[in-house]
Amino acid sequence: MAKSGPTKRDVAVPHPRVDREGLDERLYLQSLGRALDALDTFGSAHRAKSLNEIASDLGVTKSAAQRTVYTLLAHGYLEKASGTGYRLGRQVLCNSFNFLRMDPLVQRAAPVLTQLRQASNERVDLTLFEETTVIYALRYQSKRESLHTALLGRRLPSFLSAGGRVCLANLSDEVVDDILANSELIASTPRTITSVPEIWSKITAAREDTYAFAQEEAVMGEVEVAAAILDQSGKPVGAVHISGLLSDSDESSFRAQFAPLVLEASRVLGA
């Protein structure tokens, strides 16, 4: 059953740990998996982490964690911070660039989102759909945007994002139920909907409208519309968003002005 929890202003959503059940142990490199898990532990960190903290997060001895950290340091994936702590290294950023330059959807979306930003004069985003979460892959910032919310690679739960909901709207009821059951329904703001029936109501509305709308569920004072990008089989792979300030427009005006724009952009980007 889906889990609900307390309100958090900024939900940190690290990449989920790999479920090793069903993996071929003859091919799976445990040491490499541990190193990747070590990198993933920084997804919810707001400061440098000590060796003891990394070992605790991994569930291994300090000695085992030390070997993992040493290897990641040698390859530039971790760096020493002040004192005895560690933070992610610059090689992680280099690989983020490599992903963005090689991903076909990101490459197709870049000029489309540039035009969309010029037409809307609001922030426009491309998110990639990963069932329980969405990842911001392209973000064209408005002048009023804070740096934190504009960073690439940010994950948000699908259930509270307009982009996530419209992607869910393009899946079967059974698949959506399974995704919601595996989601931690933690509020990002006081306005975030965490009730499964209410979330389903939003998903149903997105099916009817062919786009989704969200108001102050990820960031207070923000409204957004999003339309899903579908592949050749009709599977949702991402979404195009336009976000603005609630103080600048009411819901009906925002929908009327920007929903047609995200629908057209998503149609262009679909397979």
Q: What is the mean pLDDT of residues 48-57?
A: 94
Same domain (yes/no): 132, 245: yes
Q: How many angstroms separate the CA atoms of 169 and 211, rounded?
A: 9
Whole-Å CA distances, 161 to 81, 102, 202, 228: 34, 26, 11, 12
Q: Is the pLDDT of residue 137 over 70?
A: yes
The domain containing residue 47 runs over which residues?
A: 3-92
Mean pLDDT confidence for 8-18: 52
Residues 120 and 194 in one domain: yes
Query: Is residue 214 located within the same domain as residue 111?
Result: yes
Same domain as 239, residue 219: yes
Tell whether 87 and 124 lie within a shared domain.
no
Lookup: tokens for 174: 């059974």
Q: What is the mean pLDDT of residues 197-208?
A: 98
Last residue of a domain, one of 48, 71, 92: 92
| Structural domains counted in the chain | 2
Last residue of a domain, one of 92, 117, 132: 92
pTM exceeds 0.75: yes
pLDDT at 141: 84
**pLDDT beyond 80 at 14:** no
